[in-house]
Amino acid sequence: MLDPGGVDTAKSLASVLTHYGFRKVQRACWESVDTGVTQLSHLKREIDRVTNYYDTVRMYQYPVKGMFAITELHHKKWRRCILKPDDRETELTQ
């Protein structure tokens, strides 16, 4: 999910994502099903290079070691949230 602060940043982000094999599926939503760990690291550096303080980029990844990960660039800082399944729900359904 992209929330660029300006038109120039939006164009730069679109160029970077296209270069890394992402395809646009909605206005601010891009997807790729075959991005590896190394490629993701390079992508994050490229995104960091073309964005500024007012831009927000959010990446949703699943599965990451069986968990759901949300990585966000906000105010030029990367943050990551990892969500794991609730073991109690798994036990109740079995």
Tens-place pLDDT, residues 13-71: 999 999 999 999 999 999 999 888 899 999 999 999 999 999 999 999 998 888 999 99
Domain count, the chain: 1
Query: Helix (H, G, I), strand (E, B), or coil: what is residue 33?
Result: coil
User: Which pLDDT score, from 0 to 100, does residue 89 have?
Assistant: 58
What average pLDDT does range 64-92 have in this prediction? 86
Q: What is the pTM of this model?
A: 0.82
56 within 8 A of 74, measured Cβ to Cβ? yes
9 within 8 A of 49, measured Cβ to Cβ? no
User: Which pLDDT score, from 0 to 100, does residue 94 have?
Assistant: 55
Q: How confident is the model at residue 88 (pLDDT cuts 50, 70, 90)?
A: low
